[in-house]
Structure 1
Amino acid sequence: MKRYKLPAVILLLLIAACKPAVKPENLYGTWKYIKVENPNETPPDSVSKSTLQEESPSIRFSKGDSLTIVWGGKILSHGTFVLDGMNIRYTEILPGGKTRTFPFYVSEITDKELIFETLGEEGTRVTAVKE
C-alpha cells in the first residue's frame, strides 16, 4: 500500500498545478487597470491609485487577435496577440512598420479579473477588471 501513496500524491500535485490554457473568448473586451506593480524593483514600486484613476489605463483584446493598450486617453501600444497556454505572445507594431514580440504571463483570469505580467528583471504585474 505504501508503494502506491507516493505516485498518487505526485499525480494529485501535478493535476492541481495544471492550469487550463487561456482562451481568446475569455480575453475579448476591455480590461481597466486597477493595480500596476513593479515587484522586482528595489524597493518594490507601484503606480498610485490616483494616477490610475486620472490616466484610466486599459488593455483591449479584440476578435481578429488585435490588442490595444490605452493610457491617458491615447493609444500607448497596439499590435496582435497569440495565445500559448498561459502566455499571451504580443507582437507590438512600432513606427516604421517594425515589430517586437514579448510575452505576458497570465497568472490569473476569471470572467471579471485578469492578472498578467511581463517577466524578467524589469517585470511589471497588472491587475485589471473587465469593463
Structure 2
Amino acid sequence: MKNLLLLVLASLVLASCGASITPETLHGKWKYTRVRNPKASPPDSVSSVTLGIEKPYIEFTNKDSLIIHWDGRVLSHGTYKLEGRNIIYKEVLADNSTREFPFYIENVDGKQMMFTTKGEDGSEVTAVKQ
C-alpha cells in the first residue's frame, strides 16, 4: 500500500510539471479564440464579436520570430526562445529598443493552446492552430 501511494504521488508530481514544448509544436499561426485580463480592475475580456472582426493571431516562425497580428496589422514582433513551458519573448519596440518577458504555456495539444502573461496587465489567451 505504501509503495502504491508513493507511485501515485510521483505520477502526480510528474504530470503537474508538464512536458517541455518544442519549437515545432508552436510553428504556425494561432488564431485567438478567447482573451481575458483577469487582473484588470475590473476584470476584462475581449468579446467574441471583436475577436471575429479584428481576427487577432500569434505567429511563430521556424526562424524563432514571433509576430502578433491584430485587426490586419502587426501589433508586436520580435524573437522568442523556449525554456521548458515558458516562451521568452524579446519584443522590438517602435524606437528599436527591446523588452523581454515570458509567456507561460498553460496547455498545448497541437491544435489548441492557452498561454498567460503575468503582472497587473497579465492576460490569458486561448488560440487554435490555423
Q: TM-score, normalised by structure 1?
A: 0.91
The secondary structure found in structure 2 opposite 1:115 is strand
| Matched residue type, 2:94 | P
Distance 2:83 2:124 in 1: 19
Partner of 2:10: 11
Runs (4+) of structure 1 exceeding 2 A deviation are 4-10, 41-44
Matches within 5 A, 1:29-48: 29-48=28-47
Identity, % of aligned positions: 49
Deviation at 1:111, TM superposition (A): 1.3
Partner of 2:100: 101
Return closer, same or farther for 1:83/1:11 CA change in 2, 3 Å cut-off.
same
Unaligned 5+ residue runs, structure 2? Answer: none
Q: Deviations over 1:102-130 (max 9, x none)?
A: 00000000111011110122210000011
Aligned residues: 130
| Matched residue type, 1:46 | S
Max radius of gyration: which structure? 1
Deviation at 1:42, TM superposition (A): 3.9
Partner of 1:126: 125
CA RMSD of aligned residues (A): 1.5
Deviation at 1:17, TM superposition (A): 1.4
Partner of 1:52: 51
Distance 2:76 2:14 in 1: 37
Q: Deviations over 1:17-45 (max 9, x none)?
A: 12011110000000000100011234421
